[in-house]
Amino acid sequence: MRGMTRAADAPRSVAKGTIPRIWRFARPYRLWLLSFLLLTTGTAVIGVVTPLLAGRVVDAIVAGGADAARRVITLALCIAALAVAEALIGLGARWFSSRIGEGLIVDLRTAVFTHVQRMPVAFFMRTRTGALVSRLNNDVIGAQSAITTTLASVLSNVIQLTLALAVMIGLAWQVTVLALLLLPIFVLPARRMGRRIADLRRDSANLNASMSTQMTERFSAAGATLVKLFGRPREEAREFGERAERVRDIGVRTAMVSRVFVTSLSLVSALAQALVYGLGGWLAVTGRIEPGTVVTLALLLTRLYTPMTALANARVDVMTALVAFERVFEVLDLEPMITERPGARALPPGPVSVRLRGVHFSYPTAEQVSLASLEDVAVLDRRAPGEVLHGVDLEAPAGSLLALVGPSGAGKSTIASLLPRLYDVDSGAVELSGVDVRDLTFDALRGAVGVVTQDGHLFHDTIAANLRYARPEASDDELREALHRARLGELLDQLPDGLGTVVGERGYRLSGGERQRLTIARLLLARPPVVVLDEATAHLDSESEAAVQEALAEALVGRTAIVIAHRLSTVRAADRIAVVEAGRVTEQGTHAELLAAEGRYAALHRTQFADPGVTDAACLVPGCDHSHDERDLPLMR
């Protein structure tokens, strides 16, 4: 991927409609924005008036007279008052600027965060976390600068330039015209330097985003473990160092280009000052203008060159800020595939049944759920994914247990992901108590279906916070009860901080079995009428598996359950067992019925029980009778 041109590096152009969308975000702050612009205009006006007063001071000194001292003192006091006013106005403008800017940051971040939360799971499977976080941080801050910095700068410079030019022409048009002749010498190279600086900063931002992604991935417990297990710390450090060195080199080039830029400005400004003093002084000596006019012109010259220089690069600044907005809008424009229909309703009261009717399903394409810039590729993968499920029909009456068995990649987990509506079916329907899950409110669906996966996720927070994620209003006593039912009571008693113990990122401070039982405790606390167990005991040692199986048996009591398991012995007492192969349900029935049918299930059973030296696996559901066969072997290791 490194050889590809990143989307972020592509030529910049702003899409139509970007500015009206910016205004929709800025509109709540329109009164503050108007106040900010008025104060900025006031600062620009004072910047032009002060040189005029300074010139009057010189004229009063040269003219002399009885009241010269009074005029000088009066003018000096006016200049001082203007300085105080400029300082106060500057503070006021800064206050409005910060309130508007910080408010926009909150609004944009909240909008992006809320929108991203609505994206399907497929979006997160494709997106670089670091790139997404960069949109919430760097791009949002860059976007708000379009309102508070770029807009104010353009307005202030336009006003200052217009006033300064008008006053200078009125005072001495000859000097003004000659001074303007020097502008192309500086402005044209300045525009080129400004674009170069913008390009360097963009490259630096992209490299910093790459480093952020690398740090996000490698500093997680799983990423750090992978690096250590495969012995690549040196390579990782070298790769990170190379990126950091490139950022350093860009920083040095940016500093030098900026310095050349400033030096050029100072040089041309000094030449223009010399011209003003030379020509203006000659006009003053010959009596064509007042001596104070020369001083006014010299002071106004800086108010002329600096705004012109800034405005020469205004397009670059404006485009940079607008592109930041566009990158934020790019995320906001991604349509969530899973939405709540108008008129969505709650589940009818009582036990909940599950049914899949003629379900066909394909995973979404990259274009449906992702962005090239978030994947760090030039072009999204345009390959169409094939259909994964082909007309699946399954049913689990309320309070029953349906087990799904079959080889890896058959579509079992895909079926499980359709129940909580992590994805929507292409055709057919997934129903809870006869209601299509697409017709249910999100709250009703979340309250109805609970899922325990083989790698149940925990946040870097306390045990209590992780449990209350399922039910925020739960009391401490309810948390302890759930932990005891999940066979974690003994562990809780041993922890010095009890419920306040921090579990670490993804729960890595706990063992695999303890993590899994904590996710089961969270499920028990949520009390969903439908439970989905997606290989919940995979990758656990025998002792941990036994404890988790006990906790799961507790969790399934009185609930409708869909269980995916590789160990046939764990689901032998299921009310119904379905064999899934290549996206199709090839067999259904009870354990005894399927064995008698001598089909695929019977073949899997014989393969699993082929080793007479292997003892039976723990039973997942109440009612398993291991006396019939003591030779269970996991179907898949």
| pLDDT tens profile 563-576 | 887 777 677 778 89
Phi/psi-derived region of residue 13, left when phi > 0, alpha when psi is between -120 and 50, beta in every other case: beta
Rounded to an integer, what distance in angstroms lies between the CA atom of residue 404 and that of residue 413? 9
Tens of pLDDT, residues 325-356 = 888 888 888 888 888 889 899 988 888 999 99
DSSP helix/strand/coil, 573: coil
DSSP code of residue 462: B
Q: Which helix (H) or strand (E) holds 625?
A: none
What confidence score (pLDDT) does residue 636 get? 27
CB distance 390 to 360 below 8 Å: yes
Token pair 């299921």 is at which residue?
A: 574
What is the average pLDDT across 232-247?
A: 79
What confidence score (pLDDT) does residue 305 get? 73
Q: What is 30-332's CATH number, 3.40.50.720, 3.40.50.450, 1.20.1560.10, 3.40.50.1980? A: 1.20.1560.10
Rounded to an integer, what distance in angstroms lies between the CA atom of residue 589 and that of residue 88? 82
DSSP code of residue 440: B
CB distance 561 to 533 below 8 Å: yes
Task: Out of 288-292, 475-479, 517-521, give the one with best mean pLDDT.
Answer: 475-479
**Alpha helix ranges (H) inside 313-433:** 314-332, 366-369, 372-375, 412-418
Measured in degrees and rounded to the nearest 5, phi and psi for residue 453 equal: -100, 175
**Burial level of 577, CB count in 10 A (0-12/13-18/19+)?**
buried
Predicted confidence band of residue 288 (pLDDT cuts 50, 70, 90): confident
CB distance 112 to 136 below 8 Å: yes
265: which 2 tokens?
A: 């400005």
Predicted confidence band of residue 228 (pLDDT cuts 50, 70, 90): low
CA angle 10, 13, 19 (to 5 degrees): 140
What confidence score (pLDDT) does residue 10 get? 36
Among 48-57, 134-143, 370-379, 407-416, name the one with the lowest average pLDDT: 370-379
Q: How many CA atoms lie within 13 A of 255 on its CB side?
A: 6
What is the average pLDDT across 405-427?
A: 89
The bridge status of strand 427-432 relative to strand 530-534 is unpaired
CB distance 425 to 360 below 8 Å: yes
Q: Which one is predicted more confidently, 128 or 560? A: 560
What confidence score (pLDDT) does residue 91 get? 92
Rounded to an integer, what distance in angstroms lies between the CA atom of residue 296 and that of residue 283? 14
Rounded to an integer, what distance in angstroms lies between the CA atom of residue 320 and that of residue 413? 44
CA angle 34, 35, 38 (to 5 degrees): 85
Rounded to an integer, what distance in angstroms lies between the CA atom of residue 355 and that of residue 145? 53
Q: Across all residues in the chain, what is the average pLDDT?
A: 79
> Side chain identity at 91, as an amino acid letter?
L
Q: Which one is predicted more confidently, 569 or 558? A: 558
CA angle 581, 582, 586 (to 5 degrees): 40
CB distance 305 to 186 below 8 Å: yes
Predicted confidence band of residue 281 (pLDDT cuts 50, 70, 90): confident
Q: Which one is predicted more confidently, 268 or 283? A: 283
Listed by start position, the domains of the chain span 30-332, 354-364+387-628
What confidence score (pLDDT) does residue 356 get? 94
What confidence score (pLDDT) does residue 195 get? 66
Predicted confidence band of residue 436 (pLDDT cuts 50, 70, 90): very high
DSSP helix/strand/coil, 345: strand
Predicted confidence band of residue 625 (pLDDT cuts 50, 70, 90): very low
Q: Which one is predicted more confidently, 326 or 561? A: 561
Q: Which one is predicted more confidently, 190 or 539? A: 190
Rounded to an integer, what distance in angstroms lies between the CA atom of residue 295 and that of residue 57? 10
573: which 2 tokens?
A: 């007492």
> Side chain identity at 364, as an amino acid letter?
P
Architecture of domain 354-364+387-628: 3-Layer(aba) Sandwich (3.40)
Predicted confidence band of residue 123 (pLDDT cuts 50, 70, 90): confident
DSSP code of residue 618: P
What is the average pLDDT across 492-516?
A: 81
The bridge status of strand 576-581 relative to strand 401-405 is parallel
CB distance 515 to 536 below 8 Å: no
Residue 21 has pLDDT above 70, yes or no: yes
Nearest to 353 by CA among 608, 537, 559: 559
Nearest to 475 by CA among 461, 486, 464, 489: 464
Predicted confidence band of residue 135 (pLDDT cuts 50, 70, 90): confident
CB distance 131 to 323 below 8 Å: no
Nearest to 364 by CA among 387, 348, 391, 343: 387
What confidence score (pLDDT) does residue 231 get? 63
DSSP helix/strand/coil, 579: strand
Predicted confidence band of residue 312 (pLDDT cuts 50, 70, 90): low
Residue 246 has pLDDT above 70, yes or no: yes
Tens of pLDDT, residues 439-458 = 999 889 888 998 887 777 88
What confidence score (pLDDT) does residue 80 get? 93
* Count of other CB atoms within 10 angstroms of residue 283: 19
Rounded to an integer, what distance in angstroms lies between the CA atom of residue 125 and that of residue 112? 18
Rounded to an integer, what distance in angstroms lies between the CA atom of residue 408 and that of residue 528? 27
421: which 2 tokens?
A: 């509506």
Among 125-139, 164-178, 387-401, 410-424, name the one with the lowest average pLDDT: 125-139
Rounded to an integer, what distance in angstroms lies between the CA atom of residue 176 and that of residue 37? 28
